[in-house]
Amino acid sequence: MKLGIIGCGKMGTALVQGAIRSGVVKSVDVMGCDPYAASREAFSQATGAKVTTDVAETTAASEVILLCTKPQDALAALGNVTKAAGGKGKLVISIAAGITLSALESAASEDFRIIRAMPNTPALIGKGAAGFCIGTHATAEDALSAQSLLSAVGLAVQVPEKLMDAVTGLSGSGPAYIYVVIDALADGGVRAGIPRADAVKLAAQTVLGAAAMVLETGDHPAVLKDMVTSPGGTTIAGLAELERLGLRSALIEAVGAAVRRATELGK
């Protein structure tokens, strides 16, 4: 696979690093394009790939284009890629938040195959969660290419586009909710006398371990919760407080609010 990156920011860099690390692509087959010298230099140092400011050069050298610009720049950038392609179709994977397949396909020529994806920031350390959907002209093989690239930095799930705003509200915004949970757990530890640095480490490792249990065992979170909860013990006392104070409801509503905002931004 010959891969071009339009927008060499942190997320684009992380995706390429993961793809190279997992063997999906070789650094010699990657070209990054960005107008900012600092971004190009950081991308090149992190990936070993070639860099340029020339969209046409990147397009000509690539079979697959990762569109990693800011959302407000995505359609114009895709239009430039289309012009540079000179009628030759490409697979384009866009990670621009809120930009729909319809808008992307309107900005490209008909022979372009478009995939829309929503990764999240833990992709920067290879622990991401992403949802993606395929456009009108994209093929099953294209979906596999997207799956390979996104899976190189974590988990990737194909969904219908109508669920992309839900993915944004859940896994796209979700890390921020969990950081609040970790911070609050650490505060509880500090309140009980644990030094701050140790409390943060214990809280973060607890969240990491609990998440790994869900993914690795395949058990429902409620089953795993019950494994920790002894009759009349400490955990049920804590859980009762969480229910009383509405943690579950707060997290459900947080996802809902983020989904609604994602829908607004896409209009």
- pLDDT reported for residue 128: 95
In this prediction the pTM is 0.90
Residue 98 has pLDDT above 90, yes or no: no
- pLDDT reported for residue 243: 97
Residue 91 — very low, low, confident or very high, per pLDDT cuts 50/70/90?
very high
What residue ranges define each of the domains in the chain, with the CATH number in brackets? Answer: 3-163 (3.40.50.720), 174-265 (1.10.3730.10)
- pLDDT reported for residue 88: 84
Instruction: Name beta bridge partners: 65.
Output: 4, 92
Strands 64-67, 3-6: pairing is parallel
- pLDDT reported for residue 110: 84
Residue 267 has pLDDT above 80, yes or no: no
Residue among 138, 178, 171, 168 at smallest CA distance from 266 = 168
Residue 264 has pLDDT above 90, yes or no: no
Distance, CA of 119 to CA of 177 (rounded, Å): 16
Give per-residue pLDDT as tens, 62-79: 999 999 999 899 999 999
Residue 72 φ then ψ, to 5°: -70, -15
Residue 155 has pLDDT above 80, yes or no: yes
The better pLDDT of the pair 86, 258 is held by 258
Residue among 107, 51, 52, 118 at smallest CA distance from 82 = 107
- pLDDT reported for residue 263: 86
C-alpha distance from residue 159 to each of 1, 100, 102, 147 (Å): 24, 14, 16, 12
Mean pLDDT of 82-87: 87
Tokens representing residue 75 in the block: 């359609």
- pLDDT reported for residue 90: 93
Give per-residue pLDDT as tens, 13-54: 999 999 999 899 999 999 999 999 999 999 999 999 999 999
Residue 164 DSSP label: H
- pLDDT reported for residue 26: 95
- pLDDT reported for residue 266: 75
Residue 212 — very low, low, confident or very high, per pLDDT cuts 50/70/90?
very high
68 Cβ neighbours under 8 A, 6+ residues apart: 5, 6, 7, 8, 9, 11, 12, 15, 95, 96
- pLDDT reported for residue 94: 96
Instruction: Name beta bridge partners: 27.
Output: none
Residue 262 — very low, low, confident or very high, per pLDDT cuts 50/70/90?
confident
How high is the mean pLDDT of the chain?
Answer: 95
- pLDDT reported for residue 196: 98
- pLDDT reported for residue 8: 96
Residue 265 — very low, low, confident or very high, per pLDDT cuts 50/70/90?
confident
Tokens representing residue 104 in the block: 């992307």
**% of the chain at pLDDT higher than 70:** 100
- pLDDT reported for residue 204: 98
Tokens representing residue 64 in the block: 């697959």
